[in-house]
C-alpha cells in the first residue's frame, strides 16, 4: 500500500501543529501549509525529519484561489498528489464585536479564511481522490455548529462555519460513491498553549467549566483523526463530531452588555 500524503492547512501552529505531529507519528507524509509562520513550520518539519518522518512545508494563502492553485501545483511538482485534506486553518477574532461593529475587511477575513478556503482546497483535492477511489477530508467547526445557533459577537465566524457544516454534509453525499469521506470536528474552547499540548500535560490543571474538570488540548482533537483516516473508516462520513469536554461555548446574548 502506498504511503498516504496528508495536507494540513494551518499545520505549523496550534491544533494544526498537534495534528501534524500525530499524523507523522502514524506514518503519513505530512505537508505543513502556513501563511506567516515560516519559522514554526520549518522547525516542525526539521523535528519530524530528525525522527525519520517525511515532512514538507509550503507557504500559501489558502483564502485566495490563486494561492491554493499555486499550493497544489507545488505539491504535485515536489511531492505527489494528496490523499488527505485536513483543513485546520481558520481565522477567529477573539475580541467581541457585534456585526454592526465589524468592518467589511473583517467580514471578508472571516468568510474567506473559514469558508472559501475550505471550498478552494477541497476543489483542488477531489480530482485525485476520485481517480484513486479514496480520500479523506476533515473540516473544523465549533461546538453546536450543526444546530446553526445564534452566537452574538461572533456572527460572521459562526455564519462561515455553519455554512461549512452544510457543505461538509453535502460533499459527503456527493463523494461517497468515490470512496471519499468528509467529516467535521468541532472543538470546544481550547486556548493558548493548550492547543499544542498533550492530555497528560494538563491533567493537574483545573477548568471549572469543563465537565471533566481539566482544560482541553490539541491531543483531544488530534487523537480522533487517525481513526477517521483508516481504510475501514469509510462508513463514517457526513458527521459533525463535537469535542468540547461538555462546555457549551455559545452564549444566548451579547457579552458586551447589550442586555443590561
Structurally, the chain folds into a number of domains equal to: 1
pLDDT in tens, 35-69: 999 999 999 999 999 999 999 999 999 999 999 99
Q: Is residue 250 part of a domain?
A: no
- Provide the 3-class DSSP secondary structure of residue 234: coil
- Per-residue confidence band for 1, with pLDDT thresholds at 50, 70 and 90: low
Query: What is the per-residue pLDDT across 156-200, written as a single tens digit (0 to 9) for each?
Result: 999 999 999 999 999 999 999 999 999 999 998 888 888 888 889
pLDDT in the model for residue 260 = 46
The boundaries of the domain holding residue 52 are: 5-243
Q: What's the pLDDT score for residue 222?
A: 95
Is 59 part of a structural domain of the chain? yes
Closest to 10 in 3D by CA, of 237, 232, 218 = 218
CATH code assigned at 188: 3.40.50.720
Confidence of residue 254 (pLDDT cuts 50, 70, 90): confident
Do the domain assignments include residue 168?
yes
pLDDT at 85 over 50: yes
Average pLDDT rounded to a whole number, residues 211-229: 91
- State residue 43's pLDDT score: 96
pLDDT at 162: 97
Mean pLDDT of 251-258: 68
Would residue 257 count as lying in a domain?
no
Q: The cell 472543538 sits on which residue?
A: 187
Burial class, 252, CB count within 10 angstroms (exposed 0-12 / middle 13-18 / buried 19+): exposed
Phi first, then psi, for residue 172 (nearest 5°) are -60, -40
Share of the chain above pLDDT 90, in %: 75
Is residue 228 one of the residues assigned to a domain?
A: yes
In a domain, 199, yes or no: yes
> Shortest CA distance to 54 belongs to which of 8, 23, 14?
23
Asked whether residue 248 is assigned to any structural domain, the reply reads: no
Q: How confident is the model at residue 257 (pLDDT cuts 50, 70, 90)?
A: low
Q: 124-128, 223-227, 255-259: which has the minimum mean pLDDT?
A: 255-259
Mean pLDDT, rounded, of the chain? 92
* Percentage of the chain exceeding pLDDT 70: 97
More confident residue, 234 or 197: 234
pLDDT for 111-152, tens place per residue?
A: 999 999 999 999 999 999 999 999 999 999 998 888 889 989
| 90 domain-assigned | yes
21-26 long-range Cβ contacts below 8 angstroms, 24+ apart:
21/48, 21/222, 22/219, 22/222, 22/223, 22/225, 22/226, 23/84, 23/86, 23/225, 23/226, 23/229, 24/48, 24/51, 24/53, 24/54, 24/55, 25/53, 26/226
The pLDDT score that the predictor gives to residue 3 is 87
Amino acid at each position: 500500500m502506498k504511503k498516504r500524503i496528508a495536507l494540513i492547512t494551518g499545520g505549523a501552529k496550534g491544533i494544526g501543529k498537534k495534528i501534524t505531529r500525530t499524523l507523522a507519528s502514524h506514518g503519513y507524509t505530512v505537508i505543513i501549509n502556513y501563511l506567516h509562520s515560516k519559522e514554526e513550520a520549518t522547525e516542525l518539519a526539521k523535528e519530524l525529519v530528525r525522527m525519520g518522518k517525511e515532512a514538507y512545508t509550503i507557504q500559501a494563502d489558502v483564502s485566495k484561489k490563486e494561492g491554493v492553485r499555486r499550493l497544489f501545483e507545488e505539491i504535485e511538482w515536489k511531492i505527489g498528489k494528496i490523499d488527505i485534506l485536513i483543513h485546520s486553518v481558520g481565522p477567529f477574532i477573539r475580541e467581541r464585536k457585534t456585526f454592526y461593529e465589524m468592518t467589511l475587511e473583517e467580514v471578508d477575513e472571516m468568510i474567506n479564511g473559514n469558508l472559501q478556503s475550505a471550498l478552494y482546497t477541497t476543489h483542488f483535492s477531489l480530482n485525485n481522490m476520485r481517480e484513486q477511489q479514496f480520500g479523506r477530508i476533515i473540516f473544523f467547526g465549533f461546538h453546536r455548529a450543526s444546530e446553526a445557533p445564534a452566537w452574538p459577537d461572533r456572527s460572521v465566524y459562526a455564519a462561515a462555519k455553519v455554512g461549512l457544516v452544510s457543505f461538509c454534509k453535502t460533499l459527503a453525499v456527493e463523494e461517497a460513491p468515490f470512496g471519499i469521506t468528509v467529516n467535521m470536528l468541532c472543538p470546544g474552547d481550547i486556548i493558548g498553549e493548550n492547543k499544542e499540548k498533550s492530555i497528560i500535560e494538563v491533567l493537574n490543571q483545573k477548568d471549572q467549566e469543563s465537565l471533566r474538570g481539566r482544560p482541553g488540548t490539541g491531543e483531544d482533537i488530534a487523537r480522533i483523526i487517525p481513526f477517521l483516516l483508516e481504510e475501514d473508516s469509510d462508513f463514517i462520513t457526513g458527521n459533525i463530531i463535537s469535542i468540547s469536554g461538555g462546555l457549551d461555548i455559545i452564549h444566548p446574548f451579547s457579552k458586551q452588555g447589550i442586555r443590561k
